[in-house]
Structures are given as C-alpha cells and as structure tokens.
Amino acid sequence: MILFPNCKINLGLHIMRKRSDGFHDLETVFYPLAVKDILEIVKKDDSELPVELMTTGLAIEGDPAANLCIKAYSLLKQDYPWLTPVQMHLHKLIPIGAGLGGGSSDATHTLLLLNALFELGLSQLQLNTYALQLGSDCAFFLLNKPCFATGRGEPKAEIALDLSGYSFVLVNPGIHINTGWAFSTIIPRNLRPGPKEEQLEDAIQLPVSDWKHHLVNDFERPVFDLYPEIKAIRDILYSEGAVFSGMTGTGSTVFGMFKTTPTLDFLQKYRVINC
C-alpha cells in the first residue's frame, strides 16, 4: 500500500507561553501544500525484525531507529501486539529540518497505512490520540486542511482559506534547523512569549496583499539574525513579485505566493522545491 505524505507551511506563528511540561503553547495557521514524500508499507511475515525501513531520495541523518515511521509502528504494536512485521520504503522529497513538517507527515501517514493494511478500524479520534504522541503537529496531517492550531500545534478549527489562485514557490537554503533546538534555545534567548497585539485569527482574514504587515512568525527575526541568507531569500521573493513571503515554522524554508508563476530563470537560480 502506498500513500503520499504532503508538507505544510505556517501562515504566522505566535509563541504564547511555556507550559509546565516543558513544551510551548503556540498559535498558527497550517496550510497544506502538494510537495510530497512517497511511503510504501507491505507485510513481511518472514522478517526477523518488526520493521525493515529503506529510505531513498534525500538523505536522512541520525539513527534510523529514531525514525518517526518506525515509532508509529511501535506505538500501534503496543496496543496491537499481533501486528506482523512490515517493510517500509520511504522516498524523501520534502527537505528535513526545513519547517515543512515532512517527518510529522510521514509518521501520520504511517498510522493511516497501518490502520488500512491491518484493518484496525481506528476512528479519527483514536488516530488523533496516536498522532499527538508522535509529534506536536502530526495531528494536523489527519485533517490536512487549512486550520487554526493552538497548544503544541493541535488543530483547533478548520478555516475557509482558498489560496488555489496563487502560485507557491518554496526555497530551501540547505540549512538544517532542528525544531527542538529552536524552541529550547532561540525562545529563551531572543523571544518574549505572550499574547500579541493583533490576533492571528483576525490577521488571516485580511486580504493577502495586507499579510506582509500583519502576519508574523516569531521565529523569523532571530533566525534571520543567525542566518542572514534566509532573510535574503525572503527579500528576493518580494523583489520578484511575491504578494506575500515568509519563513515557515522554525525554518529554514521560505515560501512566496505569486499571482503569476515566476520566470524560469528565477526558478533555476535558487533552491526551488516546488512551484
């Protein structure tokens, strides 16, 4: 069985407060985009290992055992010990450490594939419970529609936001920014969490042409200070005619929204992921 885990971008990101469990409450708008990985899972009853994971495409650094796809299987295996071994093939196209939620999407789509492959009959609520144990924004990929998210990144309310009339350009500078590091290091050094003067839920209802002055990602300024080349990408996107441009998540990918598709010369010059 095969699924195509897609990525997301953040339209604004506010850090509200640090929680007693060490995580942070945030507010953001998640918007799904069609840059996708490819994930295949098949039963492999004769395997000595519970999961055999093969990866192709973009390199995935770190211990393979820590891969969220394997963790998703292990999580279900605790409640369904009769699950037989599986072989997974993950073809990575979504950059890692880029603010696009690729790992979270892979994990959530693993839950969906295993639910179907083993006919577990898990409800949306049950899948959501498992997804939240895997990662803060994993639950979004069960909804996979524009939504306002709070808490650690849990979807709170679906919003009517149709941006299909715009061309999206995603530019990745090849800088890996670990989300855990960003929250544990950038926030205490550079940010003062708390309510914002302008509510994100109000700002997102403004015309896209006004977002430049109202939609704020709290991580942009400190990340731009650390990596001026990321800020330069945003400035270039605006100079090329983007109606709105911003960094997604904790970075490092920057997206631009255009009313018309940028020139081929521009697309060939920069690390464009998708247009």
pLDDT (tens digit per residue) in 87-139: 999 999 999 989 999 999 999 999 999 999 999 999 999 999 999 999 989 99
- Amino acid sitting at position 192: R
pLDDT > 70? residue 64: yes
- Between 65 and 271, the higher pLDDT residue: 65
- Between 78 and 19, the higher pLDDT residue: 78
Among residues 206, 199, 215, the alpha carbon closest in space to that of 247 is found at: 215
CA distance 262 to 139: 33
Helix ranges (DSSP H) in the chain = 68-79, 102-117, 124-134, 140-143, 179-181, 187-190, 200-203, 220-226, 228-239, 264-269
96 and 273 Cβ atoms separated by less than 8 Å: no
- Which pair of tokens denotes residue 222? 């400190």
- Which pair of tokens denotes residue 160? 């009517």
Exposure class string for 101-128: b at 16+ Cβ within 10 A, else e: bbbbbbbbbbbbbbbeebebebeeeebb
41 and 88 Cβ atoms separated by less than 8 Å: yes
pLDDT (tens digit per residue) in 135-174: 989 999 999 999 999 998 999 999 999 999 999 999 998 8
CA distance 111 to 117: 10
Active-site residue list: 8, 137
User: Domains along the chain?
Assistant: 2-158 (3.30.230.10), 167-274 (3.30.70.890)
pLDDT (tens digit per residue) in 28-39: 999 999 999 999
Looking at residue 131, its pLDDT comes to 97
